[in-house]
Amino acid sequence: MCGFAGILNFDGASVEPRRLERMAASLYHRGPDDSGIHQEGPVGLCFRRLSILDLTPAAHQPMLSGDGNFVMVFNGEIYNYLELREELERLGCRFRSHGDSEVLLQAYATWGKNCLAKLNGMWAVLIYDRQRGVLFGSRDRFGVKPLYRYRHAGGVCLASEIKAIRASGLYRGGINWKIASKFLLQGALDEGGETFFDGIEAIRPGSAFEVTPDGRWTEWSYWSMAPAQTADAGNPVERFRGLFEDAVALRMRSDVPVGVCLSGGLDSTSIICSMARIKGGMASEFGTPLLAFCYMPEEYDETRYIADTLEQTHAILKVLQMTPSGLWDRLGKFLWFQDEPVHSMTAMIGYELMGLARANGVKVVLNGQGADETAAGYFNYFQEYWRTLAMEGRIQHLWSEVGAYTALHGGHWAAHIATALKQACQWEMFRLRPYHRYITGKRQAANQANPWFRRELVSNLPADDFAGMDGRIETSLKRSVERSPLPIYLRVEDRNSMAHSVEARLPFMDYRLVSLLFSLPTEWKLRGGLNKFVLREAMRGRIPESVRSRADKMGFPTPVNKWLARDLYKPLKDILSSQEARERGIYQVDEVLKDLDRHQQGALDVSGRLFNVAQFETWAENMKQNPVPAA
């Protein structure tokens, strides 16, 4: 929901309204339903509204509190706003609107910064305290909703998207080569606060801040993930089931139609089946069936699983039809909305699915992001679990788990055991500083030897960050949520949906569910060769058994290796051999083209690396253009 930007000048100079107008214009896609500007001396706030709750003018932003002391711009949804409203009304508060925005504003006016602990939702917010002259801001616990900052000599600029900061006319930076080199050489994205734009950084998830008129910035964390620990969760399956059902129900609160992205996997199937139960059958409160949106290339057919789900939920399926060339033609526009490169071409499928949803009249879509990182859904977690068992000396349990895995997925039991034991020893050695330096040296040598890039690019690489890493599955899961890969997936999800003026809601990112999962022993996530064990048990009898018990995983994949060797070979070669790419001065262009030809011939698969270079070049050319779209 929505997009906003704000400016605070430290020298007391009035904010120029034209800057706010340009910033708001750059965010039109995030909120085509309404707009507003509040300019008061050295403070300026602008807003674009996507109407989801309370469609009346009473929910207009920037929103002024009843007593006139506070002005707010807010992007996101507070899912428990009805419960908070009742609590505030018992304290004597009165409301003029019926949505969540005024509830958030009144919660801050009543409880101050302590209100954040009461919120269940996704949000980025700025609130100007007119009496104190202080600007308060916050971002939700996991960073589902974005907020960026650019500090310059004369003040600070904040916005929902980077393009709005660029549109302000205040930005004077260029490419952040430290981040760009890490992406091109290692594929890393969104692992910290820095962005591809030098000087523009993301506000940390789970944090809040205050900025005074003279530029003093105070920032603090109001929430963090507790270290994974064994806890008495009663019956974990019943607790998870109850929390999940409530998380879905809260995210179905809407004054506009709600749909769902559906693959044949466990996560989206659990969501749509829960939605169907909550809706009470085929028809929604808007008089239309539940709509599901899907993409299935012929190489990844999940028809069987989806058919079973449709039979149970009576949902209507809308299937995305997309050719490789059609997708490629949209690359520049897609990256304009994203502001930065993405992890793979699969991200572009998500963009098209959101467009399909909007074309079918749906403004809110539920999606399954977050389940893999919190409930151990990726296959690499099995190996990390086995390594942890070896490090803890639980050898008999290790043998049993590896045996169950190989019986279900194949492979060699002895090889898995040997790898787990070897890695356990390596991590013990890793704790010693000499071995730490040895690993770092090997990675630096590999980067230096990369034939695609010149040494000048390698010299920009930041030092390896091994802080807190200990080789254990619990630490790896925590890092997956906080550093990689979840942050890039959340960024992509937000930009893909907002590009089409659609709001994406993520039930698995309900902080109560995440807290429960990180309090449970790993055995509740990985057991008997299956991942997401507690989710599977919680969904027993509630989703099709064909989906609940399936052991493989697809999501919304794309056969990009085949595409780049066939349909996209020529346009890809045109980008890689362009004058702009050669003048960039960071590539060994002939080496890249040589591997492109080898990829076409099937001698190797470098599809991911090829796409990264192609999108970086497309993004770099985008960066030269006006951040405000043409009328």
pLDDT in tens, 568-602: 999 999 999 999 999 999 999 999 999 999 999 99
Choose the final residue of a domain: 475, 496, 530. 475
Q: Which of 465, 478, 452 is nearest to 589 (CA)?
A: 452
Choose the final residue of a domain: 514, 548, 582. 548
Residues 24 and 108 in one domain: yes
Written as one string, the DSSP assignment of 60-96 is -SSEE-TTS-EEEEEEEEETTHHHHHHHHHHTT---S
Q: What is the pLDDT, as a whole number, of residue 467? A: 73
Q: What is the pLDDT, as a whole number, of residue 554? A: 67
> Which residues participate in the annotated binding site?
100
495 Cβ contact partners less than 8 Å away, ≥ 6 residues apart: 161, 337, 338, 339
Residues 122 and 177 in one domain: yes
C-alpha dihedral (406, 411, 417, 423), degrees to nearest 10: -120
Residues 356 and 425 in one domain: no
pLDDT in tens, 129-177: 999 999 999 999 999 999 999 999 899 999 999 999 999 999 999 999 9
Residues 112 and 205 in one domain: yes
Residue 554 forms part of a structural domain: no
Residues 397 and 525 in one domain: no
Residue 250 forms part of a structural domain: yes
- Both structure tokens of 319: 């299937």
Active site residue 2: yes
Alpha carbons 46 and 39: distance in angstroms, whole number: 8
**Which CATH number characterizes residue 339's domain?**
3.40.50.620
Point out the residues of the chain with pLDDT beneath 70: 226-233, 281-287, 432-443, 445-448, 554-556, 628-631
Residues 138 and 62 in one domain: yes
> Would you tell me the crossing angle of helices 486-499 and 346-359 to the nearest 10 degrees?
30
Alpha carbons 461 and 230: distance in angstroms, whole number: 38
Alpha carbons 494 and 256: distance in angstroms, whole number: 18
Alpha carbons 154 and 170: distance in angstroms, whole number: 9
Residues 243 and 292 in one domain: yes
Residue 522 forms part of a structural domain: yes
Residue 152 forms part of a structural domain: yes
Residues 42 and 162 in one domain: yes
SS3 sequence of 469-526? CCCCHHHHHHHHHHCCCHHHHHHHHHHHHHHCCCEEECHHHCHHHHHHHCCCCHHHCC
Alpha carbons 120 and 116: distance in angstroms, whole number: 9
SS3 content of the chain, % helix, strand, coil (to 5): 45, 15, 40
* Backbone φ and ψ of 323, nearest 5°: -90, 155
Residue 227 forms part of a structural domain: no
Residue 209 forms part of a structural domain: yes
Please give the single-letter amino acid code of residue 505. Answer: R
**Which CATH number characterizes residue 155's domain?**
3.60.20.10
Please give the single-letter amino acid code of residue 63. Answer: M
> Which residues participate in the annotated binding site for L-glutamine?
100
The one catalytic residue in 2, 46, 157, 273 is 2
Read off the pTM. Answer: 0.95
Residues 445 and 506 in one domain: no
Q: Residue 527: give the domain boundaries.
A: 236-375+485-548
pLDDT in tens, 473-496: 999 999 999 999 999 999 999 999
Q: Spell out where 234-349 has E strands.
A: 258-261, 291-294, 316-319
Residues 267 and 312 in one domain: yes
Residues 493 and 459 in one domain: no
Largest CA distance in the chain: 72
Residue 631 forms part of a structural domain: no
C-alpha dihedral (488, 493, 499, 505), degrees to nearest 10: -150
Q: What is the pLDDT, as a whole number, of residue 113? A: 97
Q: What is the pLDDT, as a whole number, of residue 86? A: 98
Alpha carbons 154 and 214: distance in angstroms, whole number: 10
* Backbone φ and ψ of 394, nearest 5°: -95, 65
Q: What is the pLDDT, as a whole number, of residue 89? A: 97
154 Cβ contact partners less than 8 Å away, ≥ 6 residues apart: 9, 10, 11, 13, 170
Q: Decide: 45 and 27 in contact? Cβ < 8 Å.
A: no
Q: What is the pLDDT, as a whole number, of residue 625? A: 76
Residue 269 forms part of a structural domain: yes
Residues 276 and 214 in one domain: no
C-alpha separations of 465 from 180, 192, 205, 323 in Å? 16, 11, 19, 40
Q: What is the pLDDT, as a whole number, of residue 230? A: 46
The Cβ of residue 585 has, within 10 Å, a number of other Cβ atoms equal to 9
- Both structure tokens of 394: 């639980």
Choose the final residue of a domain: 416, 441, 475. 475
Domain count of the chain?
A: 4
